[in-house]
């Protein structure tokens, strides 16, 4: 059986890469201007939800880096953790493919490359962690 530990560890590193890339989203989408149009509570909810997503991804990154060896052992708890994270990224991919329309914002080669690069990272997360959970 293949050792998944390095793949799971790489998943952890990619979680932090995702956060770095996502730091550009508020500027690219002009959240400062766009959110100003909303009432205060709605604006606060968007920022709070965004913060919780960031904290979740930090948690996923820490778990998959610090415990990559344990997660690769495929114990019931390891499979559950990997399955949950894989489900998160699978749901994110489904939203990206069937809900979001990013085309109007992909107006430069860098933004297009970043968008497609993140898509590949999300696929990697779903496949590797799904494999660890189900394989």
Instruction: Over range 6-16, report the average pLDDT.
Output: 98
* Cβ contact 68:9 at 8 Å: yes
> In angstroms, rounded to a whole number, what is the distance separating the alpha carbons of residues 135 and 123?
16
> In angstroms, rounded to a whole number, what is the distance separating the alpha carbons of residues 107 and 82?
35
Placement of tokens 């779903």 in the chain: 126
Domain that residue 64 falls in? 5-134
Determine the pLDDT at residue 1: 67
Instruction: Over range 12-37, report the average pLDDT.
Output: 94
Q: Is the pLDDT of residue 74 over 70?
A: yes
Closest Cα partner for 23 from 49, 48, 51?
A: 51
Determine the pLDDT at residue 135: 83
Each residue's pLDDT tens digit, 94-120: 999 999 999 999 999 999 999 999 999
Q: Is the pLDDT of residue 91 over 80?
A: yes
Q: Is the pLDDT of residue 13 over 90?
A: yes
DSSP state of 135: -
> In angstroms, rounded to a whole number, what is the distance separating the alpha carbons of residues 82 and 19?
19
pTM value is 0.93
How many domains would you assign to the chain? 1
Find the farthest-apart pair of alpha carbons in the chain and give their distance in angstroms, rounded.
Answer: 55
């Amino acid at each position: 059986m293949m050792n998944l530990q390095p793949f799971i560890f790489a998943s952890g590193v990619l979680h932090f890469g995702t956060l770095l890339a996502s730091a550009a989203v508020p500027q690219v989408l002009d959240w400062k201007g766009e959110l100003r149009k909303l009432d205060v509570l709605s604006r606060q909810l968007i920022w709070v939800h965004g913060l919780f997503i960031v904290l979740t991804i930090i948690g996923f990154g820490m778990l998959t880096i610090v415990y990559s060896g344990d997660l690769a052992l495929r114990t019931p708890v390891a499979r559950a953790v990997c399955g949950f994270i894989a489900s998160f990224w699978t749901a994110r991919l489904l939203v990206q493919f069937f809900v979001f329309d990013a085309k109007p914002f992909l107006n430069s080669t860098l933004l297009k490359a970043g968008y497609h690069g993140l898509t590949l990272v999300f696929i990697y997360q779903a496949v590797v962690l799904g494999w660890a959970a189900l394989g």
